[in-house]
C-alpha cells in the first residue's frame, strides 16, 4: 500500500514537470547529435516530437522550402530514407520521430501545423529545440546562415520559446553507426548539457505558461569536447555571450588557382564590435567556445538598430519622409 502511494507520488512529480517539446535540426533526422538529445529528453520525462529534414540542410538559414512531390526524388544522406520513399514519414517503431523533405524552418511548420494536429491531438508545444547542430553556429553570420538557427527563429516568430544548440563536432555522422552511451563522447556531452539547460528553464518556469518571454530565444554553442574529438573537455560550463563582439570573424571567399573555384575563407577583420542592444561587455560566442566553455546568447527577433543610430541616419533624408 505504502509503496503504491509512493509510486503514485513519483508519477505525479514526473507528470508535473513533463513538457511537450518539438525537436528539429538542419543536419537531418539521421544525425547522431539529434538522436542523442531525443533519447535524453525522453529519459528526462518529456514528450518529444521530432520533425527534422530528410537530408542535410545546413546553410539554409530561415528558408521556407516545401517539397513539391509526395515521393523522394533522390537518396537522402546515408540513404535514410532511400529515393522513392514518401516525402515525409516516421520511424517504423516510433511514431514520435519524423522526417520531412523540406528546410528546417519548414519542418517546424510541418510539425506545428500538420503532424502535431493530425497525429498528436494538437497538443500544445512548450518548447522548440534545434540541434545540437553538427558544427558551431557563431555570431550574426551564422544566425542568418544556419538552418538550425533558422528553424529556431522561425519558432520564435510563431510565438514559441525556442533554443538552438550547436556542438563543435562537425561530422555528418549517422546515428545507426555512431550513437552510443559513452558519456565521454561529444554527442552525449552536448545532449547532457542541453538537457541540463532545458531542465533549469522548466524548473524556473513554474506556473508561468512560457519558458522564455515572447519573441526571445537562445543560441547555445558547445566547444570541442569528448574523447571522440580527442579532447579532455568533458563538461564545458556555461557563459553568457553575444552575437557580435571584438573577435567576430565573418566568412569570406578565396579563389583557388588549382581548382578554379572559390573556397570558403575567413575575413581577417575584427570589426563587428558594435553592440546595438544588450550588454557590450559580454564576450563574443567565438571567444567563449575557444576554451572548454559553452556560450548562451539571448536573442530577440527585433533587428532594428539602436534608436540613436536610427535617428541619425533617418535625419539624412528626413525631408523625403511623408
Residue 238 binds to ligand NAG (criterion: CB under 6 A): no
# binding residues, ligand NAG (CB under 6 A):
14
Pick 112 or 284: Cβ nearer ligand NAG = 112
DSSP summary character for residue 186:
H
Note whether 225 and 168 are within 8 A (CB). Answer: yes
- Active-site residue, from 166, 194, 231, 241: 166
Residue 191 binds to ligand NAG (criterion: CB under 6 A): no
Instruction: For residue 98, give the 3-state DSSP assignment.
Output: strand
Instruction: For residue 282, give the 3-state DSSP assignment.
Output: coil
Q: Nearest Cα to 18, choosing from 124, 152, 131, 91? A: 124
Pick the binder of ligand NAG from 171, 184, 216, 227 (CB under 6 A).
171
**Residue found under cell 528546410:** 103
Pick 7 or 119: Cβ nearer ligand NAG = 119
- Looking only at residues 86 through 115 of this chain, which bind ligand NAG when binding is defined by CB under 6 A? none
Residue 266 binds to ligand NAG (criterion: CB under 6 A): no
Residue 174 binds to ligand NAG (criterion: CB under 6 A): yes
Hey, CA dihedral for 135, 141, 146, 148, is it positive or negative? positive
Pick 226 or 236: Cβ nearer ligand NAG = 226
Pick 185 or 242: Cβ nearer ligand NAG = 185
Residue 173 binds to ligand NAG (criterion: CB under 6 A): yes
- Neighbour-count burial of 297, counting CB atoms closer than 10 A to its CB (0-12 exposed, 13-18 middle, 19+ buried): buried
Instruction: For residue 217, give the 3-state DSSP assignment.
Output: strand
Q: How far is CA 248 from CA 94, 274, 285, 286, in A?
A: 42, 10, 8, 7
User: 22 has which bridge partners?
Assistant: 49, 128
Phi, psi of 282 (to 5 degrees): -70, 150
**Residue found under cell 564590435:** 273
- Per-position x/- string for 199-228, each x denoting binding to ligand NAG as judged by CB under 6 A, each - no binding: -----------------------------x
Residue 188 binds to ligand NAG (criterion: CB under 6 A): no
Pick 82 or 117: Cβ nearer ligand NAG = 117
Pick the binder of ligand NAG from 2, 69, 258, 281 (CB under 6 A).
258
Residue 117 binds to ligand NAG (criterion: CB under 6 A): yes
166 catalytic per annotation: yes
Note whether 111 and 47 are within 8 A (CB). Answer: no
Residue 178 binds to ligand NAG (criterion: CB under 6 A): yes
Residue 259 binds to ligand NAG (criterion: CB under 6 A): yes
Residue 256 binds to ligand NAG (criterion: CB under 6 A): yes
Cα atoms found within 13 Å of the Cα of residue 271, Cβ hemisphere only: 6
User: 71 has which bridge partners?
Assistant: 86
Hey, CA dihedral for 189, 91, 86, 67, is it positive or negative? negative
Minimum separation from the CB atom of position 262 to ligand NAG (A): 10
Residue 121 binds to ligand NAG (criterion: CB under 6 A): no
Minimum separation from the CB atom of position 298 to ligand NAG (A): 25
Enumerate binding residues for ligand NAG (CB under 6 A).
117, 122, 124, 171-174, 177-178, 228, 256, 258-259, 263
Residues marked active site are found at 166
Amino acid at each position: 500500500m505504502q509503496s503504491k502511494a509512493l509510486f503514485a507520488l513519483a508519477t505525479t512529480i514526473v507528470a508535473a514537470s513533463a513538457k511537450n517539446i518539438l525537436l528539429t535540426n538542419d543536419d537531418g533526422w539521421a544525425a547522431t547529435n539529434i538522436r542523442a538529445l531525443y533519447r535524453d529528453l525522453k529519459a528526462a520525462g518529456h514528450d518529444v516530437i521530432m520533425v527534422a529534414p530528410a537530408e542535410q540542410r545546413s546553410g539554409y538559414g530561415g528558408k521556407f522550402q516545401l517539397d513539391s512531390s509526395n515521393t523522394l526524388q533522390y537518396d537522402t544522406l546515408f540513404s535514410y530514407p532511400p529515393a522513392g520513399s514518401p516525402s515525409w514519414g516516421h520511424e517504423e517503431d516510433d511514431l514520435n520521430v519524423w522526417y520531412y523533405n523540406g528546410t528546417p524552418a519548414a519542418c517546424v511548420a510541418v510539425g506545428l501545423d500538420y503532424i502535431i494536429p493530425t497525429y498528436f491531438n494538437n497538443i500544445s508545444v512548450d518548447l522548440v529545440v534545434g540541434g545540437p547542430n553538427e558544427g558551431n553556429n557563431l555570431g550574426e553570420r551564422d544566425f542568418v546562415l544556419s538552418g538550425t538557427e533558422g528553424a529556431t527563429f522561425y519558432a520564435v516568430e510563431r510565438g514559441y520559446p525556442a533554443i538552438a544548440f550547436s556542438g563543435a563536432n562537425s561530422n555528418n555522422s549517422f546515428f545507426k553507426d555512431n550513437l552510443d552511451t559513452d558519456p565521454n563522447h561529444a554527442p552525449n556531452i552536448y545532449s547532457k548539457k542541453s538537457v541540463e539547460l532545458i531542465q533549469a528553464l522548466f524548473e524556473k518556469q513554474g506556473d508561468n505558461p512560457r519558458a522564455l518571454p515572447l519573441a526571445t530565444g537562445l543560441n547555445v554553442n558547445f566547444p570541442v569536447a569528448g574523447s571522440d574529438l580527442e579532447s579532455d573537455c568533458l563538461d564545458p560550463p556555461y557563459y553568457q555571450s553575444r552575437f557580435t563582439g571584438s573577435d567576430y570573424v565573418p566568412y569570406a571567399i578565396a579563389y583557388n588557382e588549382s581548382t578554379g573555384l572559390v573556397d570558403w575563407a575567413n575575413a581577417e577583420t575584427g570589426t563587428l564590435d558594435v553592440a546595438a542592444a544588450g550588454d557590450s561587455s559580454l564576450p563574443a560566442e567565438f571567444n567563449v567556445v575557444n576554451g572548454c566553455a559553452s556560450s548562451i546568447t539571448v536573442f530577440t527577433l527585433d533587428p532594428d538598430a539602436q534608436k540613436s543610430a536610427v535617428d541619425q541616419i533617418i535625419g539624412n533624408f528626413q525631408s523625403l519622409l511623408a
